[in-house]
Amino acid sequence: GAGVSQSPSNKVTEKGKDVELRCDPISGHTALYWYRQSLGQGLEFLIYFQGNSAPDKSGLPSDRFSAERTGGSVSTLTIQRTQQEDSAVYLCASSLGSGGFGEQFFGPGTRLTVL
């Protein structure tokens, strides 16, 4: 694929359930980022991967949030015991790594609604 893809595009869940959000970065991009876009909060950084390691997890809002990346490609963001305040659009972005500060390419996002 040409761009960053995310799945599902929409997810509705009940409070207390766990959810997994998936991101497929652009092929060859070693850097991967998760952001959250919510009303009143704008776009917030969550976590950054370089390869399979996450040197910056500072944006994860609580220990209910975790993410992993395998094979230097696909990443999964997991939210355990979802709360209504977790409702937001979760965005994934990727860029060429190796210490560069190039353009981050964003996916279409996953809209999460917690009832």
Distance CA 110, CA 102 (A): 24
Query: What DSSP character marks residue 26?
Result: P
* DSSP 3-state of 85: helix
Which residue lies nearer to other proteins by CB, 25 or 107? 107
Q: How many residues does the chain have?
A: 115
Residues 9-38 vs other proteins: string with x where CB under 8 A? ----------------------x-x-x---
* Helix (H/G/I), strand (E/B), else coil: 20: strand
Residue 1 interacts with other proteins (CB under 8 A)?
A: no
Structure tokens at 113: 């609604």
> Residue 90 in contact with residue 36, Cβ under 8 Å?
yes
Residue from 109, 110, 112, 114 binding other proteins (CB under 8 A): 109
Residue closer to other proteins, measured from CB, 59 or 72:
59
Positions that interact with other proteins (CB under 8 A): 31, 33, 35, 42-45, 48, 50, 55-56, 58-59, 91, 93, 95, 99, 101, 103-109
